[in-house]
Amino acid sequence: MNDSKIRVRFAPSPTGPLHIGGVRTALYNYLFARKNKGKFILRIEDTDQTRFVPGAEEYIIEALDWCGIRFDEGVREGGDYGPYKQSERKAMYRKYAEQLVASGYAYYAFDTAEELADMRKKSEAVKKTFIYNADMRHQLKNSLTLPGEKTKKLLETKTPYVIRFKIPQERSIKINDLVRGEIKVRSQVLDDKVLFKSDGMPTYHLANVVDDHFMKISHVIRGEEWLPSLPLHVLLYEAFGWDKPQFAHLPLLLKPDGKGKLSKRDGDRLGFPVFPLQWIDPKTGEKTSGYREEGYFPEAFINMLALLGWNPGDEREIFSLDEMTQVFSLERVGKSGSRFDPEKAKWFNHQYMLKKNNRELAQMFMPLLKNHGIIADTEYVEKVVSLVKERAHFVHELWDQADFFFKAPESYDPKAVKKRWKQFSYDQITALKTLLAGIDDFSPENTEAAVKKWLEENGYGMGAVLNAFRLLIVGTLKGPHLFDIIALIGQEETLRRLETGLHELGRKE
């Protein structure tokens, strides 16, 4: 196995549904792996037992499946570097935490959470920041301050403890980030982070570094919220004597209404989904909408998301996953956070609507027709879809655009009637009906030619007649080319609708 191979991971914690920012992080990792012929790994970071949410892990996998983002290794796929769930790797974290203590890079701390919270509060009261660091650790209860005997005894008597990293004094840490360039931090502003919790589980920092090392991760591509802990991670790699991976911190997805990063809690508040799939909270039963259920095509969703923070450098905007893979690079990821634009998301979906073939759209449309009590054959639906898809953003909008292909109008739009049903309309449509009844070939070309010839011969206004005609066929003034419509619904149905319309609207005095 070649160590220089590209291996990246997406490492969510199963504390709820994945939001679109998380999906984008997964997507960029996926694209980077594919582009560089590397491996993409899913690791579940479930070290916080208190925040575990049932169904979250399944949700994450299902969401990425829907997006077409595939893993090479992971909880489901397996692989040579498993297990891929941190709760199943528990033993090794303790081992490496102890190793750090033994080598002097970490220490046992016996302060309780309450004691520390209290000290923070007191510091705050005098406008000071409490930092568990080189300045403070000698005043606190830990294996650095306590005599060896005492520490030993506390450990033997099972006194709760954590293992903290001993941040070195006076070090300038320089790290190159693939997105943001060089980042400099002085070690004295860092605090002695907990690596290993009193419940026997590691914190994110330890688990992350240990796993990335043993899973041979070459590039850590994650959200910008991790940037502040990057120095700690770098120090950890050094303490272990391990080569560190390259880092890339992605800009955040921001709330469109102003402040802060997008979060799971935004739910439906924003007027657009923040989740790829619908989520039903297992505790409250509360339902939050998802892009899938809203009618977005996964290709459109992914495409839209990819362009939020990345661009190909040319003016293309519509990309399949494969096409994105060809041109993706971390260099072209932006530095600043982006706001999501619901309008543009709709536009993307519309673009994919137009790209989809009619058969596929018909298959998606049929179940909706069924909900309206309509069973139609595929071929007919395909023809309908081909005529109306350009005027819909979503499959579910198709019904509003195409209902008249499946049933005669039940009423006539009053506004349209007022505008287009004139004194002369009754006689004109009556005559038109006779004309249409006499046509054998009801193809659009043929009926159109015949009607236009008739209009010309009688000196009738095209707009006047055709709009009244449309009104009786459709029920309102909308829809595709009229002669395409009547060809599809057929001569018999056309004549029937004219008859009904003449009867309903009557002769206007």
Partner RNA sequence: GGUCCGUUCGUCUAGCCAGGUCAGGACGCCAGGUUUUCAUCCUGGUAACACGGGUUCAAAUCCCGUACGGACUACCA
**Shortest CB 502 distance to RNA, Å:** 18
Token duo for residue 134:
């080189």
Q: Where are the alpha helices (DSSP H) in 51-112?
A: 56-67, 90-102
**Shortest CB 373 distance to RNA, Å:** 24
Q: Residue 279 is which amino acid? A: W
**Shortest CB 310 distance to RNA, Å:** 7
**Shortest CB 225 distance to RNA, Å:** 4
Is the peptide bond between 83 and the residue preceding it cis, with omega within 30 degrees of 0?
yes
Q: Which is nearer to RNA, 104 or 313 (CB)?
A: 313
**Shortest CB 266 distance to RNA, Å:** 11
**Shortest CB 218 distance to RNA, Å:** 20
**Which residues are CB-neighbours of 287 under 8 A, at least 6 positions away?**
278, 279, 280, 281
Query: 414, exposed or middle or buried, with CB in 10 Å at 0-12, 13-18, 19+?
Result: exposed
Q: Which is nearer to RNA, 364 or 477 (CB)?
A: 477
CB 26 within 8 Å of CB 255: no
Backbone angles phi, psi at 108, to 5 degrees: -85, 140
Distance, in Å, from the CA atom of 388 to the CA atom of 441, rounded to the nearest integer, reads 24
Q: Residue 405 is which amino acid? A: F
Distance, in Å, from the CA atom of 397 to the CA atom of 501, rounded to the nearest integer, reads 26
44 has which bridge partners? 85
**Shortest CB 498 distance to RNA, Å:** 14
Q: Which is nearer to RNA, 48 or 499 (CB)?
A: 48
Catalytic residue list contains 153: no
**Shortest CB 205 distance to RNA, Å:** 7
Q: Which of 264, 355, 422, 478 is catalytic?
A: 264
Q: What is the DSSP letter of 251?
A: P
C-alpha separations of 266 from 8, 77, 254 in Å: 29, 32, 11
Q: Which is nearer to RNA, 88 or 225 (CB)?
A: 225
Dihedral sign computed on CA atoms, order 308, 310, 316, 322: negative
**Shortest CB 1 distance to RNA, Å:** 26
What count of Cα atoms within 13 Å lies in the side-chain half-sphere of residue 180? Answer: 22
Q: Which is nearer to RNA, 342 or 370 (CB)?
A: 342
Q: Which is nearer to RNA, 230 or 381 (CB)?
A: 230
Which of 176, 200, 242, 260 has its CA nearest to residue 49? 200
Distance, in Å, from the CA atom of 377 to the CA atom of 374, rounded to the nearest integer, reads 10
SS3 state of residue 9? strand
397 has which bridge partners? none
Query: Which contacts of 179-182 are long-range, i.e. CB under 8 A and separated by 24 or more positions?
Result: 179/248, 179/249, 179/250, 179/251, 179/330, 179/333, 179/335, 180/227, 180/249, 180/335
Q: Which is nearer to RNA, 367 or 386 (CB)?
A: 386
Which of 204, 4, 206 has its CA nearest to residue 93? 206
Distance, in Å, from the CA atom of 251 to the CA atom of 337, rounded to the nearest integer, reads 5
Q: What is the DSSP letter of 73?
A: B
Q: Which is nearer to RNA, 239 or 398 (CB)?
A: 398
Q: Residue 246 is which amino acid? A: Q
Q: Which is nearer to RNA, 354 or 437 (CB)?
A: 354
Q: Indicate the angle between helix axes 491-505 and 462-474, nearest 10 degrees.
A: 100
Active-site residue numbers?
A: 264
